[in-house]
Amino acid sequence: MNNPGIDPREPPHDIGAEQCVLGAAMLSPTAIEAAEQLTARAFYRPAHQDIWTALIELHGRGAPTGPVAVLDMLGGAGAVRGVDGPYLHTLIERAPGPREVAHYVGIVQRTSTLRALQAVSDRVRQGIESGHDPGDILERLAVDLSGITPPAAADVGPGFVLLDEFLTVEDEPVRYRVDRLWPIGGRVVAAAQYKSGKTTLRDNLVRALVDKEDFLGAFAVEPPAGRVAVIDNELDERTLRRWLREQRIANPNRVAVLPLRGKVGTFDLLDREVRSRWAQHLRTVEANVVVFDCLRPVLDALGLDEHKEAGRFLVAFDALLDEANVSEALLIHHMGHQGERSRGDSRLLDWPDVTWRLVRQNEDPASARYFTAFGRDVDQPEGLLVYDQHARRLSLTEGSRQDAAAEGLVQLVVDAVTASPKLSRNALCKEITGDDHKILAARDKAVQRDLIHIHTGPNRAQLHYPGKAGAVGCCEVRCTTPEGGAVGAVIAHSTTPPLLDSTDTTPHPAPAPASGIPGVYGPGEWAAAGRPGAPASDCPDCGWPLESNAHETKCGGTP
């Protein structure tokens, strides 16, 4: 049976597996020894036959088997077959790890055997159609079959590697596919709340990977050597096409798209043969990264219980990625209606190397979206996503839902103080529903931003008043645009002005303001009115007496 993407009229072959074997052989003599049962004819492409012949000869001499040596061995024949330096380096990039070489050798040998059997079958059919004697046909068949080497026993899995040999492989210079979010070779589960924008996040990721743009405007990417394969089973094909077009991807030839909606049942990775065909499909498009959107439809199609059997699909998905030589994969999944974790099987929590979360501020569909990531070598705190609807671009900025809630509490504090100046500490906490510690923390932020002021009242009570940067027209502080007064006015709505100095505990009647507006005073008027205990001069900047608490709060007490 032919693999997906291969013309059924072509003989069985697997170009990706051949590339893996040749790349590994150029990197390590051990790989050549693991594939010593292969002959040049086991490879389908003539160029691959030439490369394998050169590698066997070089290895037999004890000579290096790298790209330079292979090119030198091939000479002019290599150019005729289309073998050059860049192609040999492509083979090296496709090379699997030492433990996977035997797997790909088995694939090459199996497809070679199938081609030989197909050729024998064709000769038998031709003999029958030509009316040859049955005895002659059988005799020829026996000869042909005797020349076919059966494939090696089925791969029983990877073997052990001694640590000293294991450590001889140098660490890759690049640690992340997406800096600080997605380690090289990692599996990611992107858990998203309902209608939170997971497809937009996905498409922004795809564009960043193939165009080498910073993901979310904040995280550098290392584009894969091969393509990014997008497997979508939720969107209508027309919608998928339109949304990807709107991303304006500069390198669309680096993306392979598979619309699976309505055909999810064909993605039965639990069937080993089907899985092998899909692996071949991925190798055919040279996929290095797979983005699978999303998990639930395929579980339903395969009759798997999301709460108990998702792990079965994940194991098969891992096997697919390994067989297809895919380096990284991102699997998109929905969060449950309650909480903020991937719904279903607990295996969804421990399977990924990294979990990304996409959540809304609240149940309002128009509320803000937030992104966070955590896992192995990843710890990205929650940040606010900003969406450019015209360009369909997402960018990450500072600010979490906790920050947003805290900012909302700051506004409640300012509103409460604006509505009721001179609120005490306890009265302020009673005015606002919530935790007293959080309310007071919000109060402190409001003070730092000059939205409200705290003044010391009788018995050292903390009295709260609106500040210069906050709501105006309702307190005894200098405001930018006071009610009924000019810029720089001092406003007091009570008939008794506040205690301006913590050492002065005597209330004093309010002097008549020059403005003619009850309770509105200009800078210096209280001192000029002969207020008992008031200093002779006021601050030219804030308008408050130089030795007052208000002046110390506003100007730091500097004369």
Domain end residue (candidates: 164, 189, 218): 164
Please give the pLDDT value at position 245. 96
Distances (CA, A) of 266 to 261, 298, 306, 321: 11, 9, 19, 17
Query: At how many degrees (to 10) do helices 46-61 and 85-93 cross?
Result: 80
| Amino acid, single-letter form, for residue 436 | D
Confidence tier at 446 by pLDDT (50, 70, 90): very high
503, two tokens: 């050492």
Which CATH number do you get for residue 360? 3.40.50.300
From 248-257, 492-501, 537-546, the region with the lowest mean pLDDT: 492-501
Residues 359 and 496 in one domain: no
Query: Span 95-113, mean pLDDT?
Result: 88
Helices (H), 363-424: 401-419
The count of domains in the chain is 4
| Amino acid, single-letter form, for residue 89 | H
Please give the pLDDT value at position 340. 56
| Residue 6 reports pLDDT greater than 60 | no
d(CA 232, CA 259): 5
| Amino acid, single-letter form, for residue 432 | I
| Residue 327 reports pLDDT greater than 50 | yes
**Count of other CB atoms within 10 angstroms of residue 429:** 19
Confidence tier at 136 by pLDDT (50, 70, 90): confident
Percentage above 70 pLDDT, the chain:
77
Residues 482 and 494 in one domain: yes
Please give the pLDDT value at position 160. 84
In a domain, 3, yes or no: no
| Residue 320 reports pLDDT greater than 50 | yes
Residues 335 and 383 in one domain: yes
Residues 391 and 404 in one domain: no
Task: Answer for the pair 420, 466: CB distance below 8 angstroms, yes or no.
Answer: no
d(CA 105, CA 520): 92
Please give the pLDDT value at position 212. 96
Please give the pLDDT value at position 471. 40
d(CA 74, CA 58): 11
Task: Answer for the pair 46, 61: CB distance below 8 angstroms, yes or no.
Answer: no
Query: Span 221-241, mean pLDDT?
Result: 96
Which tops the pLDDT comparison, 110 or 228?
228
d(CA 78, CA 559): 88
d(CA 339, CA 232): 26
Residues 101 and 219 in one domain: no
Which tops the pLDDT comparison, 472 or 76?
76
Residues 408 and 547 in one domain: no
From 92-106, 426-440, 544-558, the region with the lowest mean pLDDT: 544-558
Distance of CA 123 to the CA centre of its chain: 55
d(CA 538, CA 524): 6
Which tops the pLDDT comparison, 337 or 321?
321
Residues 394 and 425 in one domain: no
Domain end residue (candidates: 345, 378, 399): 399
**CB-based burial label for 22 (10 Å; 0-12, 13-18, 19+):** buried
In a domain, 9, yes or no: no
| Residue 254 reports pLDDT greater than 50 | yes
Q: Of 508, 503, 501, which is closest to residue 538 (Cα–Cα)?
A: 501
User: Is the pTM higher than 0.75?
Assistant: no
Q: In this structure, what are the phi and psi dihedrals at residue 210, rounded to the nearest 5 degrees?
A: -95, -20
Q: State the DSSP string of 108-136.
A: HHHHHHHHHHHHHHHHHHHHHHTT--HHH
Q: Which helix (H) or strand (E) holds 204?
A: helix 198-211
d(CA 393, CA 132): 70
**Domain of 190?**
176-399
For 452-482, write each residue's pLDDT tens digit: 999 988 888 899 999 865 443 333 333 333 3
- Cα angle: 184, vertex 190, 192; to 5 degrees: 165
390, two tokens: 């015209």
d(CA 146, CA 136): 16
329, two tokens: 């994969």
| Residue 338 reports pLDDT greater than 70 | no
Q: Of 48, 155, 31, which is closest to residue 103 (Cα–Cα)?
A: 155
In a domain, 4, yes or no: no
Which tops the pLDDT comparison, 544 or 97?
97
Task: Answer for the pair 521, 492: CB distance below 8 angstroms, yes or no.
Answer: yes
In a domain, 1, yes or no: no
Residues 190 and 339 in one domain: yes
Residues 395 and 406 in one domain: no
Please give the pLDDT value at position 149. 64
62, two tokens: 């004890």
Beta bridge partners of 328: 289
Residues in the chain: 559
Please give the pLDDT value at position 339. 53
Please give the pLDDT value at position 307. 86
**CB-based burial label for 84 (10 Å; 0-12, 13-18, 19+):** middle
For 352-389, write each residue's pLDDT tens digit: 999 999 999 888 888 899 999 999 999 999 999 999 98
Confidence tier at 324 by pLDDT (50, 70, 90): very high
Residues 457 and 518 in one domain: no
Query: Average pLDDT, whole number, for the chain?
Result: 81
| Amino acid, single-letter form, for residue 516 | G
Domain end residue (candidates: 470, 502, 523): 470
Q: State the DSSP string of 283-321.
A: HHTTEEEEEEE-HHHHHHHTT--TTTTHHHHHHHHHHHH
Residues 147 and 215 in one domain: no
Task: Answer for the pair 527, 535: CB distance below 8 angstroms, yes or no.
Answer: yes
According to the 3-state scheme, what is the secondary structure of 332-354? Answer: EEEECCCCCCECCCCHHHHCCCE
From 288-297, 333-342, 373-382, the region with the lowest mean pLDDT: 333-342
